[in-house]
Amino acid sequence: MVIAIQPTNSPSRERVLATLAAIQRWPHWSEIQLGAAKECGMSSEEFYALLPEYQRFISLYAGFTGIGMLSARVDQLWHAHILNTKRYQEFCDLFFGRMLHHLPCSSFVLYGISVSQINAECEIPETCVDPEPPSCTDPDPGPEPPATCYDPGDDEGKGSKEATKRSILASSQRFVLAYTACWGRAPSPDIWERVARPRLIEGVAI
């Protein structure tokens, strides 16, 4: 049965949870574990510790727009999944009705930007941060999430290092909002180490 969840700003939480439950029952994860061991030396223990986070990520990635990969270790698991091309194609067709293309946080490589650098150099206006993120159960998605105030298209030097920082901030905020709304807790920094967490500043207009 094809679930075929489509990307949007605010998919139904029930839809995302149903996708996750179906993904968890997929019978071929042991094959992906063998691939992860071969391709990147990942132990069975680490694979099965990271697998729930990968499954949560792929459920969010399929349903929410503007989300990128923000964990180096979970990204390794995604690579191992993709390299089993037959199974990955079957997986995407079965659950999403389309191919989910790999989207790494390539900006980190492009400019050598580290999360610690972003956290040190960037400040988030407090007016951009919604203290109560909108639930993805809302039938009306409403306005764009707060991350839109970091749209790199607003920068004159599109493609510049500053625009890249803002793009990473936007992706981080979208991921945190989606993760928290669907799973009821924030993503663990021990796993999602690429999530930018810059300081807040008060009284700054968007």
Summarize pLDDT for 7-22 with one digit per residue, the tens: 455 568 888 999 999 9
3-state secondary structure of 145: coil
The pLDDT tens digits of the residues spanning 61-88 come to 998 887 888 899 999 999 999 999 999 9
- pLDDT of 8 reads 52
Please report the pLDDT score of residue 144 as a whole number. 42
Name the residue with tokens 């094959």. Answer: 31
Q: Report pTM.
A: 0.72
CA distances from 135 to 14, 23, 72, 131, 173 (A): 11, 22, 27, 12, 14
The H-or-E segment that residue 143 falls in is none
Q: What percent of the chain stands above pLDDT 70? A: 59
Query: Of 138 and 47, which is predicted with more confidence?
Result: 47
Backbone dihedral region for residue 193 (phi beyond 0: left; psi -120 to 50: alpha; all else: beta) = alpha
Residue 113 to residue 116: CA distance in whole angstroms:
9
Q: Is 125 helix (H, G, I), strand (E, B) or coil?
A: strand
